[in-house]
């Protein structure tokens, strides 16, 4: 299966941005055109209001409407952003379906597997490969403490630990629902980063024939 969409998942501080930047730099150095995209479309006012509340740690009044709202955003994201970008070449998403499912689950006390299955029905948004960074929450917390930005929802110790557990369940549910792989690996050391980057670059190289590289 050709790698067109690569999703990087994991709790805050796990190393997603570091891995993303490494991959984008490595791809550019090899003349491989790789795009980068965010988690949400922001194209529906109702969905945007729901997502902003969820990201701030405020559950919606109705959990079913919250799931429907984020699914609607994912459908718009797929139609207007993901599909056009994927037609150009490989694409890296810094957070995508699993992150949204875990956010819904932790705030609405819903089974994360149910959230995954609902969002996985948006087939055009399915990543051919998902990388789940399983970096220990305490290390993630230590990394975040060195950042100058204000702390966000999900970065406190209890919630981060809970999210880490949910991601593991979500990853299994994702593969069961879609048949697509999830690569689980910590990004705690430079060696971890090297290994993950090498594995992802192998897939990106395979997706872009040598003759089409710039």
DSSP state at residue 130: E
pLDDT of residue 162: 97
pLDDT of res. 210? 72
Helical spans, DSSP H, in the chain: 16-29, 45-55, 63-77, 83-86, 97-108, 112-120, 137-145, 157-178, 190-207
The answer for residues whose C-beta is within 8 angstroms of residue 93's C-beta and 6 or more apart is 5, 6, 7, 8, 36, 37, 38, 39, 82, 127
Distance in angstroms between the alpha carbons of the first and the last residue of the chain = 23
Determine contact, residues 159/137, Cβ cutoff 8 Å: no
Report pTM: 0.94
Q: Which CATH superfamily is domain 5-209 in?
A: P-loop containing nucleotide triphosphate hydrolases (3.40.50.300)
Q: CA-to-CA distance for 137 and 141, rounded, in angstroms?
A: 6
29, 31, 35, 36 alpha-carbon torsion, rounded to 10°: -10
112-137 mean pLDDT: 98
Q: Is the pLDDT of residue 131 over 70?
A: yes
How far apart CA 11 and CA 164 sit, in angstroms, is: 6
CB-neighbour burial class of residue 203 (10 A; exposed 0-12, middle 13-18, buried 19+): middle
Nearest to 120 by CA among 80, 69, 177, 39: 177
pLDDT exceeding 70 applies to what percent of the chain? Answer: 98
Residue 208 is predicted with a pLDDT of 82
pLDDT score of 128 more than 90: yes
Rounded Cα gap, residues 98 and 155, in angstroms: 17
Count CA atoms within 13 Å of residue 114 on its CB side. 11
Q: Are 116 and 9 in contact (CB under 8 A)?
A: no
pLDDT over 90 (residue 207): no
pLDDT, tens digit, 9 for 90 and up, residues 5-53: 999 999 999 999 999 999 999 999 999 999 999 999 999 999 999 999 9
pLDDT tens digits, 148-158: 888 899 999 99
Asked whether the predicted pLDDT for residue 130 surpasses 90, the reply is: yes
- For tokens 């990004």, what's the residue? 187
């Amino acid at each position: 299966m050709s790698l067109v969409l690569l999703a990087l998942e994991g709790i805050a501080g796990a190393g997603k941005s570091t891995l993303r930047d490494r991959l984008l730099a490595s791809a550019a150095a090899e003349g491989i055109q790789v795009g980068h995209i965010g988690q949400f479309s922001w194209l529906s006012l109702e969905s945007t209001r729901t997502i902003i509340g969820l990201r701030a740690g405020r559950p919606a009044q109705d959990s079913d409407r919250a799931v429907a709202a984020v699914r609607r955003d994912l459908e718009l994201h797929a139609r207007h952003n993901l599909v056009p970008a994927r037609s150009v070449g490989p694409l890296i998403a810094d957070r995508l379906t699993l992150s949204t499912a875990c956010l819904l689950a932790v705030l609405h006390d819903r089974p994360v597997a149910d959230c995954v299955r609902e969002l996985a029905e948006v087939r055009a948004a399915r990543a051919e490969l998902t990388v789940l960074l399983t970096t220990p929450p305490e290390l993630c917390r230590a990394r975040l403490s060195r950042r100058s930005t204000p702390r966000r929802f999900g970065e406190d110790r209890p919630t981060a630990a809970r999210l880490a557990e949910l991601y593991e369940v979500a990853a299994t549910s994702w593969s069961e629902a879609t048949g697509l792989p999830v690569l689980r690996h910590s990004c705690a050391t430079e060696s971890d980063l090297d290994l993950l980057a090498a594995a992802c670059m192998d897939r990106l190289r395979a997706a872009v024939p040598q003759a089409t590289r710039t």
